[in-house]
Amino acid sequence: MKQVGIWLDKLEANGVILDNGKESLFNIPSELEFFNPKGGSRSKTRWGPQDVIQDSKYLEREKHQLKNYFEEIAEQISDADQIAIFGPAEAPEKFVESLKDNHPKLASKIKTTKTVDSMTKNQFKALVKQSFGMDDRYPDAT
């Protein structure tokens, strides 16, 4: 049984694959541009026109980049039997929505989704094992 745990935010996705006792890690960078538009510029005349920033351009570009990022993650975990998704803010929720819309078969394999802050690799591996019912503290007790 192939179990996959993913911790993702808008910067990167880190994953742990548990496959019949074997453990492997993967990392997918998002390549998402962070837009910080500066304010509009003023005219040189006292009450002249002001340039307007088009937020919709930035938001549309971010939406397409997120879609590509989520597709890359879905491709990486396409053969998973169970999936656990973790992360801060709304990135995991958006990823789950993307899976439901574009990959319903994969979305049905999601076992849990939790909001968690950043953590070390060992903490993340322990969280993934715990979410799949494996106890990492006593590996010999079976």
Q: How does pLDDT run across 29-82, given as a tens digit for each residue?
A: 998 887 665 555 566 667 666 666 677 888 888 899 999 999 999 999 999 999
The domain spans of the chain are 2-34+53-131
Helices 55-76, 91-102: crossing angle, 10 deg rounding: 70
| Average pLDDT along the chain | 85
- Using alpha carbons only, how large is the chain's radius of gyration in Å? 20
What's the pTM?
0.79
Model pLDDT, residue 25: 94
Instruction: Assign a CATH topology to domain 2-34+53-131.
Output: Nucleotidyltransferase; domain 5 (3.30.420)
Q: How does pLDDT run across 100-111, given as a tens digit for each residue?
A: 999 999 999 999
Q: Is the pLDDT of residue 115 over 50?
A: yes
Strands (E), the chain: 2-8, 12-19, 22-29, 82-87, 110-115
For the chain, what percentages of helix, strand and coil (3-state, to nearest 5) are there?
35, 25, 40
